[in-house]
Structure 1
Protein backbone atom coordinates (compact mmCIF):
# COMPACT_ATOMS: atom_id res chain seq x y z
CA UNK A 1 0.00 0.00 0.00
CA UNK A 2 2.99 2.34 -0.05
CA UNK A 3 2.37 5.69 -1.72
CA UNK A 4 -1.40 5.28 -1.39
CA UNK A 5 -2.30 8.81 -0.31
CA UNK A 6 -5.69 9.41 1.26
CA UNK A 7 -7.18 12.81 2.07
CA UNK A 8 -9.35 12.64 5.20
CA UNK A 9 -11.71 15.57 5.80
CA UNK A 10 -13.50 15.53 9.16
CA UNK A 11 -14.12 18.51 11.45
CA UNK A 12 -14.57 16.41 14.59
CA UNK A 13 -11.02 16.03 15.97
CA UNK A 14 -11.65 12.74 17.79
CA UNK A 15 -13.33 11.09 14.80
CA UNK A 16 -10.59 12.36 12.48
CA UNK A 17 -7.86 10.99 14.76
CA UNK A 18 -9.52 7.57 15.05
CA UNK A 19 -10.13 7.30 11.29
CA UNK A 20 -6.60 8.47 10.46
CA UNK A 21 -5.15 5.86 12.85
CA UNK A 22 -7.21 3.09 11.21
CA UNK A 23 -5.94 4.11 7.77
CA UNK A 24 -2.32 4.56 8.88
CA UNK A 25 -2.34 1.15 10.59
CA UNK A 26 -3.15 -0.34 7.17
CA UNK A 27 -0.25 1.46 5.50
CA UNK A 28 -2.05 4.43 3.97
CA UNK A 29 -0.42 7.85 3.96
CA UNK A 30 -3.08 10.19 5.36
CA UNK A 31 -3.45 13.93 4.83
CA UNK A 32 -5.93 15.47 7.28
CA UNK A 33 -8.16 18.56 6.95
CA UNK A 34 -11.01 20.03 8.98
CA UNK A 35 -12.73 22.05 6.24
CA UNK A 36 -13.72 21.57 2.64
CA UNK A 37 -11.92 24.78 1.74
CA UNK A 38 -8.59 23.46 3.08
CA UNK A 39 -9.13 20.14 1.34
CA UNK A 40 -9.94 21.92 -1.92
CA UNK A 41 -6.47 23.51 -1.86
CA UNK A 42 -4.82 20.12 -1.38
CA UNK A 43 -6.89 18.54 -4.16
CA UNK A 44 -6.06 21.42 -6.52
CA UNK A 45 -2.33 21.06 -5.87
CA UNK A 46 -1.95 17.27 -6.01
CA UNK A 47 -1.66 14.89 -8.89
CA UNK A 48 -2.07 11.16 -9.24
CA UNK A 49 -0.49 10.48 -5.82
CA UNK A 50 -3.87 11.33 -4.29
CA UNK A 51 -5.86 8.13 -4.61
CA UNK A 52 -8.75 8.52 -2.18
CA UNK A 53 -10.87 11.23 -0.59
CA UNK A 54 -12.82 10.42 2.57
CA UNK A 55 -15.00 13.28 3.70
CA UNK A 56 -17.74 13.90 6.19
CA UNK A 57 -20.79 15.51 4.59
CA UNK A 58 -21.27 18.16 7.29
CA UNK A 59 -18.06 20.13 7.67
CA UNK A 60 -16.94 23.32 9.37
CA UNK A 61 -16.79 26.17 6.90
CA UNK A 62 -19.07 26.92 3.97
CA UNK A 63 -18.35 23.90 1.79
CA UNK A 64 -20.11 20.57 2.35
CA UNK A 65 -18.52 17.21 1.78
CA UNK A 66 -20.75 16.73 -1.26
CA UNK A 67 -19.56 20.01 -2.77
CA UNK A 68 -15.99 18.95 -2.08
CA UNK A 69 -16.64 15.59 -3.75
CA UNK A 70 -17.94 17.35 -6.89
CA UNK A 71 -14.80 19.53 -6.99
CA UNK A 72 -12.53 16.50 -6.49
CA UNK A 73 -14.34 14.48 -9.18
CA UNK A 74 -13.86 17.30 -11.70
CA UNK A 75 -10.12 17.52 -10.93
CA UNK A 76 -9.44 13.79 -10.55
CA UNK A 77 -12.03 11.70 -12.46
CA UNK A 78 -10.64 8.37 -11.22
CA UNK A 79 -10.31 9.34 -7.55
CA UNK A 80 -11.93 6.98 -5.05
CA UNK A 81 -14.35 9.22 -3.09
CA UNK A 82 -16.24 8.24 0.06
CA UNK A 83 -18.75 10.56 1.75
CA UNK A 84 -19.58 9.77 5.39
CA UNK A 85 -22.69 10.96 7.18
CA UNK A 86 -25.13 10.01 9.88
CA UNK A 87 -27.97 11.09 7.58
CA UNK A 88 -28.80 10.37 3.95
CA UNK A 89 -26.99 12.49 1.40
CA UNK A 90 -28.77 13.22 -1.88
CA UNK A 91 -27.92 13.74 -4.60
CA UNK A 92 -24.58 11.97 -4.50
CA UNK A 93 -21.89 12.88 -7.02
CA UNK A 94 -21.45 10.28 -9.77
CA UNK A 95 -19.08 7.49 -8.83
CA UNK A 96 -19.04 8.41 -5.15
CA UNK A 97 -19.55 5.89 -2.35
CA UNK A 98 -21.67 6.60 0.74
CA UNK A 99 -20.71 5.37 4.20
CA UNK A 100 -23.46 5.57 6.82
CA UNK A 101 -22.25 6.51 10.32
CA UNK A 102 -21.61 4.66 12.55
CA UNK A 103 -19.51 2.13 10.65
CA UNK A 104 -16.81 -0.42 11.39
CA UNK A 105 -13.14 0.22 10.60
CA UNK A 106 -13.27 -2.78 8.25
CA UNK A 107 -16.13 -1.23 6.26
CA UNK A 108 -14.14 2.00 5.83
CA UNK A 109 -11.05 0.11 4.68
CA UNK A 110 -13.07 -1.95 2.21
CA UNK A 111 -14.54 1.20 0.66
CA UNK A 112 -11.18 2.97 0.42
CA UNK A 113 -9.62 -0.02 -1.31
CA UNK A 114 -12.41 -0.33 -3.93
Structure 2
Protein backbone atom coordinates (compact mmCIF):
# COMPACT_ATOMS: atom_id res chain seq x y z
CA UNK A 1 0.00 0.00 0.00
CA UNK A 2 1.60 3.22 -1.12
CA UNK A 3 1.26 6.63 0.47
CA UNK A 4 0.18 9.24 -2.05
CA UNK A 5 2.11 12.34 -1.11
CA UNK A 6 0.48 15.73 -1.39
CA UNK A 7 1.93 18.00 -4.09
CA UNK A 8 3.75 20.09 -1.47
CA UNK A 9 5.43 17.13 0.21
CA UNK A 10 6.26 15.15 -2.94
CA UNK A 11 9.87 16.40 -2.92
CA UNK A 12 11.98 15.28 0.04
CA UNK A 13 15.51 16.45 0.87
CA UNK A 14 17.43 13.67 2.66
CA UNK A 15 20.43 14.89 4.69
CA UNK A 16 22.53 11.97 5.95
CA UNK A 17 26.32 11.77 6.20
CA UNK A 18 26.50 7.96 6.06
CA UNK A 19 26.34 7.07 2.32
CA UNK A 20 24.77 3.63 2.86
CA UNK A 21 22.06 4.97 5.19
CA UNK A 22 21.37 7.84 2.78
CA UNK A 23 21.03 5.39 -0.09
CA UNK A 24 18.59 3.24 1.90
CA UNK A 25 16.44 6.25 2.84
CA UNK A 26 16.42 7.48 -0.76
CA UNK A 27 15.43 4.01 -2.02
CA UNK A 28 12.65 3.73 0.58
CA UNK A 29 11.19 7.10 -0.39
CA UNK A 30 11.57 6.70 -4.15
CA UNK A 31 9.83 3.31 -3.90
CA UNK A 32 6.85 5.20 -2.40
CA UNK A 33 6.74 7.74 -5.23
CA UNK A 34 8.61 10.65 -3.67
CA UNK A 35 11.12 12.75 -5.59
CA UNK A 36 14.27 12.73 -3.47
CA UNK A 37 17.18 15.14 -3.28
CA UNK A 38 20.32 14.25 -1.31
CA UNK A 39 22.94 16.02 0.79
CA UNK A 40 25.71 14.58 2.96
CA UNK A 41 25.86 17.51 5.41
CA UNK A 42 23.78 20.44 6.57
CA UNK A 43 26.21 22.78 4.81
CA UNK A 44 25.57 20.89 1.56
CA UNK A 45 21.79 21.01 2.14
CA UNK A 46 21.53 24.79 2.51
CA UNK A 47 22.28 25.71 -1.14
CA UNK A 48 19.79 23.06 -2.26
CA UNK A 49 17.14 24.55 0.02
CA UNK A 50 17.93 28.04 -1.26
CA UNK A 51 17.74 27.02 -4.92
CA UNK A 52 14.52 24.98 -4.85
CA UNK A 53 11.00 26.07 -4.01
CA UNK A 54 9.42 22.63 -4.39
CA UNK A 55 10.90 20.90 -1.33
CA UNK A 56 8.08 19.82 0.96
CA UNK A 57 9.92 17.71 3.56
CA UNK A 58 13.38 17.76 5.12
CA UNK A 59 14.55 14.36 6.44
CA UNK A 60 17.75 14.86 8.40
CA UNK A 61 20.03 12.95 10.72
CA UNK A 62 20.93 14.77 13.96
CA UNK A 63 24.61 13.84 14.23
CA UNK A 64 26.60 14.94 11.21
CA UNK A 65 30.06 16.37 10.63
CA UNK A 66 30.48 20.07 10.10
CA UNK A 67 29.47 23.21 11.96
CA UNK A 68 25.73 22.58 11.69
CA UNK A 69 24.06 19.46 13.05
CA UNK A 70 20.69 18.16 11.87
CA UNK A 71 18.69 19.64 14.73
CA UNK A 72 20.14 23.08 14.07
CA UNK A 73 19.39 22.61 10.37
CA UNK A 74 15.80 21.66 11.18
CA UNK A 75 15.40 24.75 13.37
CA UNK A 76 16.83 26.96 10.61
CA UNK A 77 14.50 25.41 8.03
CA UNK A 78 11.48 25.90 10.31
CA UNK A 79 12.34 29.59 10.64
CA UNK A 80 13.33 30.35 7.03
CA UNK A 81 11.09 27.92 5.12
CA UNK A 82 8.06 27.31 7.37
CA UNK A 83 6.24 25.43 4.58
CA UNK A 84 8.85 22.64 4.69
CA UNK A 85 7.82 19.83 7.05
CA UNK A 86 10.49 18.25 9.26
CA UNK A 87 11.42 14.64 9.95
CA UNK A 88 14.49 14.05 12.13
CA UNK A 89 16.34 10.80 12.80
CA UNK A 90 19.09 9.62 15.13
CA UNK A 91 20.50 6.38 16.41
CA UNK A 92 22.40 8.13 19.20
CA UNK A 93 19.84 10.33 20.85
CA UNK A 94 16.17 9.76 21.31
CA UNK A 95 13.94 12.76 20.83
CA UNK A 96 10.22 13.22 21.08
CA UNK A 97 8.16 14.98 18.46
CA UNK A 98 7.54 17.71 21.04
CA UNK A 99 11.29 18.46 21.19
CA UNK A 100 11.44 19.15 17.47
CA UNK A 101 10.70 22.50 15.87
CA UNK A 102 7.50 23.16 13.95
CA UNK A 103 5.60 19.94 14.77
CA UNK A 104 8.40 17.80 13.35
CA UNK A 105 8.40 14.01 13.46
CA UNK A 106 11.16 11.87 15.01
CA UNK A 107 12.15 8.46 13.61
CA UNK A 108 14.65 6.42 15.59
CA UNK A 109 17.40 4.51 13.76
CA UNK A 110 17.35 1.82 12.65
CA UNK A 111 14.02 2.50 10.98
CA UNK A 112 11.95 0.47 8.58
CA UNK A 113 10.52 1.72 5.33
CA UNK A 114 6.97 1.99 6.73
CA UNK A 115 8.18 4.00 9.76
CA UNK A 116 9.97 6.49 7.53
CA UNK A 117 7.14 6.84 5.03
CA UNK A 118 4.55 7.22 7.80
CA UNK A 119 6.65 9.94 9.47
CA UNK A 120 6.98 11.80 6.16
CA UNK A 121 3.24 11.48 5.55
CA UNK A 122 2.40 12.62 9.11
CA UNK A 123 4.75 15.58 8.86
CA UNK A 124 3.18 16.80 5.64
TM-score by length of 2: 0.83
Instruction: Report Cα offsets for 1:27-71 as digits up to 9, x if no partner.
Output: 111000000011111112222x11100000011211100110011
Task: Give the structure with the higher percent helix.
Answer: 2
Q: Match for 1:107 among 109, 115, 121? A: 115
Superposed counterparts of 1:75-94, under 5 Å: 75-86=80-91, 87-89=93-95, 91-94=99-102
Query: 1:2: Cα distance to partner?
Result: 8.4
Quote how far apart the aligned CAs of 1:21 are: 0.4
Stretches of structure 1 that go unaligned for 5 or more consecutive residues are none
For structure 2, the residue ranges without an aligned partner over 5 or more in a row are none
Q: Does 1:45 find its partner at 2:45?
A: no
Structure 1 residue 89: Cα displacement:
4.2
Q: Which piece of structure 1 moves more, 54-63 or 2-11? A: 2-11
Q: Provide the TM-score with structure 1 as the length reference.
A: 0.90
In structure 2, C-alpha distance between the alignment counterparts of 1:58 and 1:99, rounded to whole Å: 14
Match of residue 73, structure 2, among 68, 71, 88: 68
